Amino acid sequence: MTASASASGDIPAEDAPPTGALYSFGTPWPEFNEGISYTDTFRCTGATTTLVEFYSTSYKSSAPLPGWIKRIRNGQITVDGEVATDPDMILREGSKLVYHRLPWQEPFAPHLLDVLYEDDDMIALNKPSGLQVLPKGLFQQRTVLAQLQLKDWKMPSSFCSKRKYVQSHPVPVHRLGRGTSGLLLCAKTKLAKAQLAAYFAEGATNAGKSRDETDFCKSRKILKFYRALVTGILENDEVMITQPIGLVRYPGVAEGLYAACSSGKPAMSKVCVLERLENHNQTLIQVEIHSGRPHQIRIHLSYIGHPLVDDQNHSSSATNPTDSRGTARYS
């Protein structure tokens, strides 16, 4: 019984779900993931280009020249479906290039998810800290999306006549940072996915149109609240932060960094003080975000001089070409 439940990804009956959860599910991660493939189409710029020249110049941040030579000779790259092991192979216009990254052991991540609410259209999960929502970077398999794909979902019989509108598994309609725990909404149907995504998008759209908090509350159908512990003592009980957030160039980081910058997209966060911990020089706060920019809470809190406790990546002393505060060293 236990083995069967474990294999199906459900939690054994004797292991009751946490208080407040309907049930829990999750499949333990394998030691190594399945690797990943990256596809490119070669476009000739005039000069003759070899296979190793293409990869070593296009993806300098991935590996130096000797690293790409080794990958090619290992047979990790195909050209038009054929394995290419000659680094000096001349590329032709329109050739399809595929780099096959070998499987690797991903960093630790929890695999169990608690279901707090479920109906025919959506499911609400309690995402634990340390688990990424969607594949990116080192985490290609250890994600919420992967667990949703692994579980055997029993769709209601009423869905039989609506099969074209039903997805094989629920999908997240928004994101939470890997280190953030909290409520994550996932859609079971295409209609629910579109509607929920539209609700989340309303906040970001309105953040750029108005600064009137009353207007926000009237128009938004989904409210997002977070609790955080920040360094320093906030003087005001409430603080509204409207600093735009965007990508800026940063030495050594190919994709750039998210930061508080005037050229960024509109963002709005409302901070309310819950408790001032004078002895620890810290403040417990509630943050309501009206938009959902990458690392918005971390960047906004750092921008006002009160970064999250132990958050070195967004400390107020971080250096940024545009602004000396509110940088994000991971994107």
Distance between CA atoms of residues 172 and 186, nearest Å: 4
Asked if 36-101 and 225-312+326-330 have one fold, the answer is no
> What's the whole-model pTM score?
0.77
What count of Cα atoms within 13 Å lies in the side-chain half-sphere of residue 193? 11
Read off φ and ψ for residue 120, nearest 5 degrees.
Answer: -70, -15
Q: Supply 55's token pair.
A: 């990869």
Burial class (CB within 10 angstroms; exposed 0-12, middle 13-18, buried 19+) of 194 = exposed
The angle that helices 51-58 and 65-73 make with each other, rounded to 10 degrees, is 130
Kindly report, residue by residue over 46-93, the tens digit of the pLDDT. Answer: 889 999 999 999 998 889 999 999 999 999 999 999 999 999 999 999
Hey, how many other C-beta atoms are within 10 angstroms of the C-beta on 255?
11
| Mean of pLDDT values over 113-142 | 96
| Predicted local distance difference test score (pLDDT) of residue 281 | 97
Confidence of residue 320 (pLDDT cuts 50, 70, 90): very low
More confident residue, 38 or 318: 38
CATH of domain 115-153+165-207: 3.30.2350.10
E-state strands within the chain: 23-25, 36-41, 77-79, 82-83, 96-101, 113-118, 122-127, 166-172, 182-189, 225-231, 238-241, 245-250, 253-260, 269-277, 282-289, 327-328
Residue ranges per structural domain of the chain: 36-101, 115-153+165-207, 225-312+326-330
More confident residue, 119 or 252: 119
Q: Which CATH superfamily is domain 225-312+326-330 in?
A: Pseudouridine synthase (3.30.2350.10)
Q: Which CATH superfamily is domain 36-101 in?
A: RNA-binding S4 domain (3.10.290.10)
Mean of the per-residue pLDDT values for the chain? Answer: 85
